[in-house]
């Protein structure tokens, strides 16, 4: 369910240290999968002095919901780590989809989702926290929605004073809403003088 080249690229990009875990998700552990996992372990032994651990997790790919549940359990087991990096590149489609859904089901603020093209020409990250937040827009107040709409339609970041003037609301109210929206991953706040804020790019899907 995985191609070792993507695991190796991820290792090269992030490195691996003592206490880190590399979890390879796969379908049936056929010979090719075992060889690929062994190659990854040997790579770590050679270039990272055997730091960290490598686990091979076989998923019940014949059942999508059980696959997603198993991935969710795997993620829950590492949720306490400082950072969890999820690479969706080069795997079986059912596993890629199950992993992404499992990430969206969990409230993990320490997760980073990354994806790269087959030829490695493009590498990008996906903000799962922001994506999850826009799926629960109905929980946002009308005032917060208005803030997001104004910020999204602007081409540049706004100061709190400018946003307050635009919305005809006092700065303290705007700051309170911005703290909540920043926590949800929907706005990007630059804490400098003057403080500026802009919407997360994911909001272009909505406004």
Task: Please give the tally of structural domains in the chain.
Answer: 2
Is residue 69 located within the same domain as residue 50?
yes
Residues 26 and 102 in one domain: yes
Are 167 and 116 members of one domain? no
Residues 22 and 105 in one domain: yes
Residue 20 shares a structural domain with residue 120: yes
pLDDT of 109 reads 82
* Domain match, 94 and 176 both: no
The pLDDT of residue 202 is 86
Q: Which CATH number does the domain housing residue 10 bear?
A: 3.40.50.11700
118 and 168 belong to one structural domain = no
Of 126, 149, 174, the residue at which a domain comes to its end is 126
Please give the pLDDT value at position 1.
Answer: 59
User: Do 43 and 100 belong together in one domain?
Assistant: yes
Same structural domain, 54 and 156: no
Q: What contacts 24+ positions apart, CB below 8 Å, involve 105-110?
A: 105/68, 105/72, 106/72, 106/75, 106/76, 106/79, 107/132, 108/75, 108/79, 108/84, 110/79, 110/81, 110/82, 110/83, 110/84
Dist. CA 187–CA 184, nearest whole Å: 8
Contacts of 61 (CB under 8 A, 6+ apart): 1, 27, 28, 67, 92, 94, 95
Query: Which regions of the chain are under pLDDT 50?
Result: none
pTM value > 0.85: no
Q: Which domain holds residue 66?
A: 4-126
160 shares its domain with 115: no
86 and 180 within one domain: no
């Amino acid at each position: 369910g995985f191609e070792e080249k993507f695991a190796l690229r991820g290792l090269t990009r992030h490195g691996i240290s003592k206490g880190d875990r590399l979890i390879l998700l796969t379908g049936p552990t056929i010979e090719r999968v075992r060889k690929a996992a062994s190659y990854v372990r040997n790579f770590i032994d050679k270039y990272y002095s055997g730091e960290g651990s490598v686990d091979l997790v076989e998923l019940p790919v014949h059942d999508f919901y059980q696959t997603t549940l198993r991935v969710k359990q795997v993620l829950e087991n590492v949720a306490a780590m400082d950072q969890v990096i999820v690479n969706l590149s080069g795997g079986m489609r059912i596993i890629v989809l199950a992993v992404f859904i499992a990430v969206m089901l969990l409230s993990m603020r320490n997760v980073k989702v990354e994806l790269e093209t087959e030829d490695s020409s493009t590498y990008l990250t996906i903000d799962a926290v922001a994506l999850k937040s826009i799926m629960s827009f109905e929980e946002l107040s009308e005032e917060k929605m208005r803030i997001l709409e104004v910020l999204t339609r602007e081409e540049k970041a706004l100061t709190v004073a400018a946003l307050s003037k635009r919305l005809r609301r006092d700065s303290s109210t705007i700051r309170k809403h911005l703290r909540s929206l920043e926590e949800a991953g929907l706005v990007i706040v630059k804490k400098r003088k003057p403080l500026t804020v802009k919407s997360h790019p994911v909001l272009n899907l909505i406004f």
